[in-house]
Amino acid sequence: MNTDMTNLFHLDARDSTRLRVLQCIRAAGEISRTDIARQLDSSPATVTAACVALLDAGLIREVRGLQSESVQRGRPKVMLQVNGDAFAIVGMKVARNAILVMIVDFKGDEIGTFVSPLAASRMSARALVREMRRALDDALSAHGLPQSKIAGLALGLPGFVNGETSFMHWSSSVTERNVNFAPLFQELLPCPTFIDNDANLVAKAEHLFGAGRGLRNFLVVTIEHGVGMGIVLDGELYRGERGCGAEFGHMKVQFDGAVCQCGQRGCLEAYVGDYALLRDTSTGRSSDATKTIADILDAARSGDTLAHEVLDRASRVLGVALANLTNLFDPEHIVIARSRPRFDARYTDAMTASLARNTVQVDAPLPKITVRNLDQTMWALGAAAHGIEMVSVLKIRKRGADDVA
Ligand SMILES: [Zn+2]
């Protein structure tokens, strides 16, 4: 595979029109050429040319319209839809103790999921890509799919990751810093492979399928072992110049504060992430080794002062940090997606009060805040959605190259 992946983010005018037409068809489910031209404010001839290329590449298909108005003149209108059978795409998320795999068709409909256990929570980049290969092979055989059906794979990894260049600056799951994953993917995986920060991909899943559907400006904050964020601005995922943006978990909330897993001090996640709560409630007893966040919450409910103080501080710190976000971005909606119940009503109230107290005062309501459990499949679904987008670009660019040849 000699594909220059970085070029996938920069399309020429003709390919970018083809991509916009494909995205329009995907969003509509089923749509006529006339309506595409209307929606994209484009000429019918341009849309028709783009559709010919997309049909030739097998990315879309024609179906007969069912609407009564379309048969008024005696012949049903020809509608277009994404060709779900064209390819399968794999989304993966690296969690602490497993790789979550989701296989979808080109429409985004789920074919199946698979969980591949990891023996260690941190490993070398090469070992991680080998684990991805194992997870892929096992998932395909579990669902009886041939490898040839897979057109692309996208991975969500925690940490500072540049999706355009497949370059990872740092991740809590990888032992080295500064790794270019592109050659490892080419050597060890059988299909084009893409990578992005995992919280970005949750934001993408929320934007396409969840609470962010139809919103232009919203934020998704993920809280699990660490704290992540995805930013959607003006309908697009914002990644930053080096792919290191949106690192909400490493926003400093205390000078010379608690040590973070990134190596610096005073980061938000050093007070709010699972590892911080477990560390700060440890008492040196053997039961510490098996303690969970639910145990801390139970202890606080039964009057344990240390557990209460750690949770109360985490709630207030998170509230201040969310107020900073609101002051910076003024979003329509913030979704707080957490891996498991970590705050009961008492702590959610402490967080909300701290958020309200620290947000700049204007005579307009605060952004809507939704706190919800992070369904584990959202991680892999977001990765799969990214995979679909990148494979679309890859196929359109290949088609464009064929046209020139
Ligand atoms: Zn940090």
How confident is the prediction along the chain (405 residues), in pLDDT tens digits per residue? Answer: 444 555 667 788 899 899 999 989 988 889 999 999 999 999 999 999 999 999 999 999 999 876 555 455 566 789 999 999 989 999 999 988 899 999 999 999 999 999 999 989 999 999 999 999 999 999 999 999 999 999 999 999 988 899 888 999 999 899 999 999 999 999 999 999 999 998 899 998 888 778 887 788 999 999 988 899 999 998 888 888 777 778 899 999 999 999 998 899 999 999 999 999 999 998 878 777 788 888 999 999 999 999 999 999 999 999 999 999 999 999 999 999 887 665 677 888 899 899 999 998 888 888 888 888 877 788 899 999 999 989 999 999 887 777 765
Which is the CATH superfamily of the domain at 211-375?
ATPase, nucleotide binding domain (3.30.420.40)
Q: How far is the CA of 401 from the centre of ligand 1 (A)?
A: 43
**Nearest residue to 335 via CA among 172, 231, 219:** 219
Q: How far is the CA of 247 from the centre of ligand 1 (A)?
A: 9
Q: Determine the straight-line distance between the first and last CA of the chain, rounded to whole angstroms.
A: 18
Q: How far is the CA of 263 from the centre of ligand 1 (A)?
A: 6
Cβ count within 10 A of residue 117: 9
Q: Which residues surround ligand 1, an ion (CB under 5 A)?
A: 250, 260, 262, 264, 267
Q: Decide: 204 and 230 in contact? Cβ < 8 Å.
A: yes
Residue 69 is predicted with a pLDDT of 52
Residue 1 is predicted with a pLDDT of 43
pLDDT digits (tens, 9 = 90+) for 359-386: 988 888 888 888 888 777 888 999 999 9
Q: How far is the CA of 288 from the centre of ligand 1 (A)?
A: 23
What is the token pair recorded at 376?
């584990």
Q: How far is the CA of 222 from the centre of ligand 1 (A)?
A: 15
| CATH architecture assignment, domain 88-202+378-392 | 2-Layer Sandwich (3.30)
CATH of 5-83, one of 3.40.50.620, 1.10.540.10, 1.10.10.10, 1.50.10.100: 1.10.10.10
Instruction: Write down the domain spans for the chain.
Output: 5-83, 88-202+378-392, 211-375
User: Is-same-fold flag (88-202+378-392; 211-375)?
Assistant: yes
Q: How far is the CA of 124 from the centre of ligand 1 (A)?
A: 20
What is the token pair recorded at 10?
């920069």
Three-state SS for the chain is CCCCHHHHHCCCHHHHHHHHHHHHHHHHCCECHHHHHHHHCCCHHHHHHHHHHHHHCCCEEEEECCCHHHHCCCCCCEEEEECCCCCEEEEEEECCCEEEEEEEECCCCEEEEEEEECCCCCECHHHHHHHHHHHHHHHHHHCCCCHHHEEEEEEEECCEEECCCCEEEECCCECCCCEEHHHHHHHHCCCCEEEEEHHHHHHHHHHHHCCCCCCCCEEEEEECCCEEEEEEECCEEECCCCCCCCCHHHCECCCCCCECCCCCECECHHHHCHHHHHHHCCCCCHHHHHCCHHHHHHHHHCCCHHHHHHHHHHHHHHHHHHHHHHHHHCCCEEEEEECCCCCCHHHHHHHHHHHHHHCCCCCCCCCEEEEEECCHHHHHHHHHHHHHHHHHHHHHHHHHHHHHC
Q: How far is the CA of 209 from the centre of ligand 1 (A)?
A: 30
Residue 315 is predicted with a pLDDT of 93
Q: How far is the CA of 296 from the centre of ligand 1 (A)?
A: 23
Q: How far is the CA of 226 from the centre of ligand 1 (A)?
A: 9
Q: How far is the CA of 404 from the centre of ligand 1 (A)?
A: 48
The pTM assigned to this predicted structure is: 0.81
Q: How far is the CA of 179 from the centre of ligand 1 (A)?
A: 19
Q: How far is the CA of 199 from the centre of ligand 1 (A)?
A: 15
